[in-house]
Chains A and B, each alone.
Chain A
Amino acid sequence: MDQNDEAALVGKVLDGDVGGYRYFIERYHKGLIQHIYNIVGDEATAEDVAQEAFIRAYDNLSKYNPEYAFSTWLYKIASNIALRFLKQNSRFVPLNEDSVLNADKAPPPDEKLDAQLTKETVVTAIDKLPTKYRFVITMYYWDDLSLKEISEALGSPEGTIKTWLFRAKKILRKELYGQV
């Protein structure tokens, strides 16, 4: 089913075919839950937030703009809910962006150090990133979204997303190679 078919299905759901909405949940729930999990880091919370996102999308279906992919719109709703959740339940105090970015140049990659980096270390470092950088890193590397898709989902220009990605990597380098 392509974007036009999905837009037509949205129309049917709006006309009262509630069952038609099941298609959207079946198609997007795995990716969406994974996306939210990447941000919040908790499986149960990710499912709750995803469910909330699907319900909110259903309630606001009349506001959906068929020019964009349904998934982009859904990710935007989910990201907003996840962002609100993070503000209320942050596990880490985010790194001070300015102090990290203005610090000395990030150490160059070192193969010996790379080998010592565990998955947990990297995840913890990502969790400590300022929220917008964490969103960009997880969406780009883990959800395999393009810069354009991230820009649509977060409502920021593509150039800004590129800058955030660059800075996020710089902070991560500093954090990871500085602590190993």
Chain B
Amino acid sequence: MDKFDQIIKQAKTTIQPNSNFVSRTMNRIDHEEEKSRIRFRFWLPVGVGAFAAVLIALVLVAPFSSKPSNKANLYASNSNSSASSGTSPALGSPPKNVPATIPAGDSNANLTSDINSISASINEQNYDQNGVNTGLNDMAYEVSIPTYQNQ
């Protein structure tokens, strides 16, 4: 260490910290700790309550939500398909512009037979070997509508 190093070293001002610094800092830490505990105690029940409320709401709404909305969509699509022809058939009735029979060689004939076979297959799958409904009725319902339109 040369002379210049000594000059820098000697320029140090030593200070004496406040005697209550340690207890003051510990108090602040305790205070912060207590605040976070209170926050936790407050937000935990609120969080759990909110989660439970959402869960209950979902359970209550679920049984009513699936079928009616599917029906509504199907009827909506039915009326949309007739909208282009300017007709407005009653809900659930076949659109007026659908031909009674499908012309031979029409590509729609293949489509109709495909739909019929899918529908039949789904209807078969609706019941297991013990005759219990396996819950595929909704699908069968959805697929059977276009079949009905083309007949």
Interface residues, chain A, with chain B CB atoms under 8 Å away: 18, 21-22, 25-26, 29-30, 33-34, 37-38, 43, 46-47, 50-51, 54-55, 58-59, 109, 111, 114, 117, 119, 122-123, 126, 137, 141-142, 169, 172-173, 176
Contact = CB atoms under 8 A, between A and B. Distances in A.
Given A55-B29, A58-B29, A172 B8 contact: yes
Interface residues of B, number: 25
B14 A22 contact: no
B25 A54 contact: yes
Contacts of A29: 17, 21-22, 25
B33 interface: yes
Contact of B24 (A51, A142, A172, A173): A51
Contact of B15 (A37, A54, A55): A37
Interface of B: 2-5, 7-15, 17-18, 21-22, 24-26, 28-30, 32-33
B10 A46 contact: no
Contact of A18 (B5, B15, B33): B33
Contact of A119 (B3, B10, B29): B10
B14 A25 contact: no
7 contacts: A22-B26, A33-B17, A33-B21, A114-B7, A141-B5, A142-B12, A176-B7
B4 A34 contact: no
Contact of B17 (A18, A30, A173): A30
Contacts of A37: 13, 15
Given A18-B33, A22-B22, A141-B12, A114 B3 contact: yes
B4 A47 contact: no
A54 B24 CA distance: 11
Contacts of A111: 3
Contacts of A18: 29-30, 33
B8 A141 contact: yes
A25 B25 contact: yes
Of B2, B3, B26, the most chain A CB neighbours within 10 A belong to: B26
Contact of B32 (A55, A122, A123, A142): A55
Contacts of B12: 38, 141-142
A55 B25 contact: yes
A169 B2 CA distance: 12
A21 B29 contact: yes
A176 B8 CA distance: 11
Contacts of B7: 114, 117, 122, 176
A2 to B, nearest CB: 21
Given A22-B26, A55-B29, A119-B10, A47 B3 contact: no
B25 A34 contact: no
A150 to B, nearest CB: 15
